[in-house]
Chains A and B, each alone.
Chain A
Amino acid sequence: MRPILLAGHERALTQIRYNPDGDLIFSVSKDQQICVWMAHNGERLGTYRGHQGAIWTIDVDPTSTILASGSADNTIRLWDIKTGKCLKTWDFPTAVKRVEFNEDGTKLLGVTEKRMGHLGTIVVFDVKIDVDAEQTDEKELTIVCEESKATVAGWSYLSKYIIAGHEDGSVSQYDGKTGDLIYNIPIHELNQQITDLQWSQDRTYFITASKDKTARLISAKDLEILKTYTADTPLNSAVITPKKEFVILGGGQAAMDVTTTAARQGKFEARFYHKIFEDEIGRVRGHFGPLNTVAADPTGKGYASGGEDGYVRVHAFDKGYYDFMYEVERERQNRLAAAASA
């Protein structure tokens, strides 16, 4: 496969998102720019200007109308995807590290940083998916993380729970309506922060990536650890691929240690694991720095990775990827085919 290199950012990438149809890629970096790209040819559709600080996070609503971004300038902004116009700005006392729309796009959560005497919080806003609508100023819900600040968070299926990953390696489940803490379970090693949390397509389970060099597949309902993927490097991002039963992990030697290591030892590769068997099945090299974010095309045709090197690499899978199957999978498929024809 020949990856498409997108060089729209001047600094390290922080997050990449595909829209649900898989035709647009949104990328944010520390250079205060949001870029939107056409996934099929890497054409840059536009940029969204307005943020005054590094942008940490981005999310797109299910209808690809509105974009939400959270930045180190202490704001969450809503944007009109089509024109690049800023629709709404919410101010906070501290930086915003993560935003996510719920399944139907009616609610938006934001994770704020713990700093300057402010505790880390998770805030929820009601959002109207309409470019012309007046967006509310009022927070619908504020969850204060008293023990350890949340680094990532997301909405489960039916917006029933808010799941948050914490700096101390634990994962919490909050009630999606009241914000009450239901569980807080240590999932990763103590004080190894959770760096990413991404959902399966039906949002019944999710994958977390952590600095403790593992990624874990966890069910949303009872926070049970379903699978563990062990890598040899701190992980910054993990994603579940649609169509094929794989997960992609991205990470690498921390940015500040990079100059002391060769590219080979930096482990700047995207790692593919089999979701069920937990085996590593391949790596894709290419970045010159650690991978900060990986995103899978919802149509299952490719993935994009963004690195500390400022590049986004968009990969379209080729035949070998689709053909790959474990022996047991192949046998099962043959059995089913035989049963169907009989």
Chain B
Amino acid sequence: MAAPQTKHDWADDEELDETTAATTTTDLPPPQKIQNKDGTWTIIEYRINDEGQKVKATRRVRYVVRREVVNPRVAERKTWAKFGDAAKDPPGPAPDTTTVGENIIFRPSVNWRKEAKDEANDPNAQAMKDKLRDKKVKCRICNGEHFTARCPYKDTMAPIGEAGAADVAAGMGDEPGAAGPSSVGAAGAGKKGSYVPPALRGGGAAAQGDRMGGKYSDRDDLATLRVTNVSEMAEEQELRDMFERFGRVTRVFLAKDRDTGLAKGFAFISFADRDDAVKACNKMDGFGFRHLILRVEFAKKAA
């Protein structure tokens, strides 16, 4: 901060009165260094500016001492000039030769082999498989054991309707426009205490207004799950592996802290098919992952 002396400041008076009066303009008061209570320093310096006016500059600085002991030989080598093919490279790593690889988790352990095997056929995956074993594909039109799209009565009969929408885990057709909002509402309201945005309250009817943009524009949103209470140690790939069981996952976003690289505790998973998302939402909510219990719900639209 620099203020021309012409605007005389009352704060300067006590120090400056005698000095400015007594000395010529070429004679400047010595710089001052005052330690403040909070550990910072105030440095006051005086100089003459281009117009011959005396200028007082006050700076507040904090000194942080970070001591790094470096071998003098190593320190000397850090100043060496580059040569050979690297001669033209600017200081610092050149991006064409030096890149940073993906994070690798390496924790030595006595029984790492056993752990690796466990990860390969995850016990949870096994449990999930057992659970899904007696689930059968069910047609929404005729309740037969085939996909709705393959139903022989597809053209002649209307879908059974609400029954089908509620029984999402049993499989649904691919008409998000027809069954979309109601089932999202059902899924949202089905969980006690979970927040249901106004747009989705009261099921399909209320949501109709939002859907003016056409069913494709928000299709992505409908198939996106928000996963919260994710372990700090989680990796995107692990989440992908977990959710891939339910269908094709198009996008996994795991929020990470920029500095530490640790997960922030929530993630978004987008499915290619909304039905898979519904399935995953139902099955993975309350799933124990690492040391925490996952909370899975449909991502709410940004306002």
Contact = CB atoms under 8 A, between A and B. Distances in A.
Contacts of B107: 282, 320-321, 324
A44 B94 contact: yes
Interface residues of B, number: 32
Contact of B106 (A5, A38, A41, A321): A321
A5 B98 CA distance: 6
A305 to B, nearest CB: 12
Given A46-B82, A48-B84, A313-B101, A282 B106 contact: yes
Interface stretch (B69-77, B197-205, B208-216, B265-273): B69-77
B112 A281 contact: yes
A7 B97 contact: yes
Most buried by A among B92, B106, B113: B106
B93 A43 contact: yes
B257 to A, nearest CB: 15
Which bucket holds chain A's interface residue count? 35 or more
Nearest to A284: B106
Interface string B174-205: 00000000000000000000000000000000
Contact of B84 (A49, A246, A315): A49
Nearest to B93: A43
A281 B7 CA distance: 73
Contacts of A43: 92-94, 98
A47 interface: yes
A280 B113 CA distance: 8
Interface string B40-82: 0000000000000000000000000000000101100110101
Interface in A25-72: 33, 37-38, 41-49, 64
Given A44-B86, A46-B85, A326 B110 contact: yes
Interface of B: 71, 73-74, 77-78, 80, 82-87, 89, 92-94, 96-104, 106-110, 112-113
21 contacts: A8-B85, A21-B73, A23-B77, A23-B78, A38-B78, A43-B93, A44-B85, A44-B94, A46-B85, A47-B84, A49-B84, A49-B85, A64-B73, A281-B108, A281-B112, A284-B106, A313-B101, A320-B106, A320-B107, A321-B108, A324-B108
